[in-house]
Amino acid sequence: MLHSGKTALVTGSTSGIGKAIAEAFAAEGANVVLNGLVKPGEDEALLAEFRDKYEGKIGFSDANLTDPEAIEGLMGYVARDFGGADILVNNAGVQHVSPIEDFPVSKWDLIIALNLSSAFHTTRMAISGMKEKGWGRIINTASAHALVASPYKVAYVAAKHGIAGMTKTVALEGAQHGVRCNAICPGYVHTPLVDAQIGDTAKARGMSEDEVVKDVILAAQPTKEFVTVEQVAAMAVFLTSPGGDQINGAMMQMDGGWVAQ
């Protein structure tokens, strides 16, 4: 299998895009470290689900990625128990929708910490081991909002634009050491995060939820279809395959043509 013997750390992998990516790497034989904040007992259920399906070693950490010390603990765990991350997928994220004049400062701080700063911390602690091995793949889950903006999403758009810049910088630093860094930029993917956005956007714009889906969300995507989590996961696997060896510093758009407009 493609990644037998390698370890993939996927942050924010208890549901949605992150879980689909973790499953895709596990299916390719990788050892997988899952991460996310869960209710009591959900971690055991998630571990059992993965261990029943896949042959590789499966681990879990509930590290709060808004806390740099917790991230250090996560990366130490991956190093001790798995020999370090060969593949790092920075996927954890959160969203809040509000006009900037009403945007809570606490929400700004949370989104920047989780959507941007956490990726800096995991990357800075993973890349030395990748360079030593002469092979590593870092994938950042960005967004079409890493390339274009939408109203009422100031923190999210700022964080994703920051991820785009970080991706390019890390790609240059790792280029001659066998390390590749790319970002996947999906349009709207039907996940719990997007479901929450639909409700928030409806309130912010004074619209019904059906109107938000039709006239706001899918209006931006010329295909008029949501991206699926499986499609994003397939792109992540491709970027770590031999076919992706010369893709470095790229913003891989998966947005049904949104940014092409």
> Which residues are identified as catalytic?
156
Q: Please report the beta strands in the chain, taking only residues with DSSP state E, as ranges in sequence order.
A: 7-10, 31-35, 58-61, 87-90, 136-141, 179-186, 251-254
Distance from C-alpha of 181 to C-alpha of 169, rounded to nearest angstrom: 9
Q: What does each C-alpha distance from 40 to 36, 45, 226 come to in angstroms? A: 12, 10, 32
Q: What does each C-alpha distance from 94 to 14, 153, 225, 239 come to in angstroms? A: 13, 11, 22, 24
Provide the angle, in degrees to the nearest 10, between the axes of the packed helices 105-112 and 154-174: 20
Q: What is the DSSP letter of 257?
A: T
